[in-house]
Amino acid sequence: MAFRGWMVVSAFSLVSSAALTAASARAGSGKAYVSEGMKYEVEVLLEADGVLWGFDFLPDGNIVASRRAGDMFVFDVRTGERARIDGVPAVAAVGQGGLLDVRVHPDFKRNHWIYFTYSERVGDKMTTALGRGALRGRRLEGVKKLFSGHAPGSRSIHFGSRVEFSGPYVFVSVGDRDERAGAQDLGYHNGKVMRLNADGSPAEGNPFVGADGARPEIWTYGHRNPQGLARHPATGEIWEAEMGPLGGDEVNVLKKGANYGWPVVTYGREYSGERIGAAEKAGMAQPVVHWTPSISPSAIAFYDGDVFPKWKGDLFVGALSGAHLRRLTIDGGKVVAQEEMLKDRGERFRNVRQGPDGALYYSTDAGRLSRLVPVGSARSGRFTAPGERRGRGTK
């Protein structure tokens, strides 16, 4: 349904001219890092005020990004120019809420669709919602609200949320909103991952369609605060990352109709140290990997580029409280090795994505957008991907 009765605001009215500033130089950090024998450096592309929650790549190689404060912008990686996007709907930027993930539809060249999640007010409460608009020029047109989570809550935490595409379907994660029982109740969207059609309707074949009292959009349940979704490039599986309480952070492979346990099953504890649930229970899925102490995983992304060939097939996890980028080596669906990366930078890693140029991009809660490139690429003035002619943009 459309945003009837909603205030559609210009992003220019939300952000001062000082809110977005170019990085002082398009140069590397001056420090070389090594992973699997490959030397890389950090190229800071952009610095912004506040949390850079989501970003994705347009077909021309430019980046569309979201600030949790409530605005989007397009960033030209080649020139460093930024343009704020008009027509972004007002969001409830309170606590952990605001404008969250932003994704470019795989068929963008034809439909111009941008999907985004955000926290919205429903009376005196809030919930997670999914919106869509057509990006034409620097404006979102025909903005529609495709999904709104049931039920709204009074707390301003645990909204999720990430968006992932798989064929004709859109996967959307929603946090438990700190109302734990809802994660096990199929009558609520809280603590669930949804599988939707492109228009936001429940996808055919969803596991609980027709079940008494169940929400037809649900694909999996028993999640706490899932902020990571990624499609495996080889298997097509949807992988998910979520935060536990005191410990018990997880990465899961999502299976149709599966129950991932929260709060009945968890490796985490109350912040007081008391147990919450059992570590295992029949009928509830186990994570691929879990962490105690917590690292607070946010976004996840598989790497399948050619710039760093020894990372192919690895899963990257942005860690918030852990303040690092974590690389997971996957073999047969199992995590066989882990590497903590960039811990010396002291940042909260919010989003991570592979770029069309094969570099690995990430954004942080300090408002930085950066990418990992081979040593010397940043200082040369512009990173050149394998097979790309210098002086021409990424297509």
386 confidence band (pLDDT: 50, 70, 90): low
> What is the arithmetic mean of pLDDT over 366-391?
72
Sequence-ordered list of residues with C-beta below 8 angstroms from that of 37, at least 6 positions apart, any chain = 310
Is residue 18's pLDDT more than 80? no
Domain assignment present for 392: no
Dist. CA 130–CA 133, nearest whole Å? 11
Is residue 23's pLDDT more than 70? no
> What is the arithmetic mean of pLDDT over 323-335?
97
Domain assignment present for 237: yes
DSSP state letter for 43: E
Dist. CA 210–CA 206, nearest whole Å? 10
Of all helices (H) and strands (E), which one includes residue 119? Answer: strand 113-122
Which pLDDT tens digit goes with each residue over 113-157? Answer: 999 999 999 999 999 999 999 999 999 999 999 999 999 999 999
Domain assignment present for 168: yes
DSSP state letter for 280: -
Contact 59, 108 (CB under 8 A): yes
Dist. CA 102–CA 17, nearest whole Å? 22
pLDDT of residue 377: 82
Is 232 considered catalytic here? no
Q: What is the CATH number of the domain that holds 326?
A: 2.120.10.30
CA 121 to chain centroid: 21
pLDDT of residue 311: 98
Full DSSP string of 343-386: GGG---EEEEEE-TTS-EEEEETTSEEEEEEETTTTTTSS---T
> What is the arithmetic mean of pLDDT over 101-111?
98
Domain count, the chain: 1
Is residue 383's pLDDT more than 70? no
Contact 103, 116 (CB under 8 A): yes
How far CA 205 is from CA of 1, 208, 219, in Å, comes to 22, 8, 9
Q: What distance, in Å, lies between the first and last C-alpha atoms of the chain?
A: 34
Length of the chain, please? 395
Domain assignment present for 384: no
Contact 69, 93 (CB under 8 A): yes
Dist. CA 299–CA 350, nearest whole Å? 6
SS3 217: coil
Q: Which domain holds residue 240?
A: 28-374
The percentage of the chain sitting over the pLDDT mark of 70, rounded to a whole number, equals: 88
* Mean pLDDT over the full length of the chain: 91
- The pTM is what? 0.91
Place of tokens 């010396």: 344
Domain assignment present for 7: no
Contact 352, 341 (CB under 8 A): no
Is residue 103's pLDDT more than 90? yes
Domain assignment present for 385: no
- Of residues 105, 112, 158, 189, which has the active-site annotation? 158
Is residue 3's pLDDT more than 80? no
**356, two tokens:** 């069309």
289 confidence band (pLDDT: 50, 70, 90): very high
SS3 342: coil
Q: Which residue, among 46, 14, 85, has the nearest Cα to 361 in the 3D structure?
A: 46
Contact 54, 68 (CB under 8 A): no
Indicate the range of 130-144, 197-211, 377-391 predicted with least confidence: 377-391
pLDDT of residue 300: 98
pLDDT of residue 5: 30
Domain assignment present for 148: yes
Domain assignment present for 235: yes
30 confidence band (pLDDT: 50, 70, 90): confident
Q: Which long-range contacts (CB under 8 A, 24 or more apart) does 174-180 make?
A: 174/128, 174/149, 174/226, 175/128, 175/223, 175/224, 175/225, 175/226, 175/227, 176/223, 176/224, 176/225, 176/262, 177/127, 177/149, 177/153, 178/153, 179/153, 179/155, 180/262, 180/263
29 or 320, greater pLDDT = 320
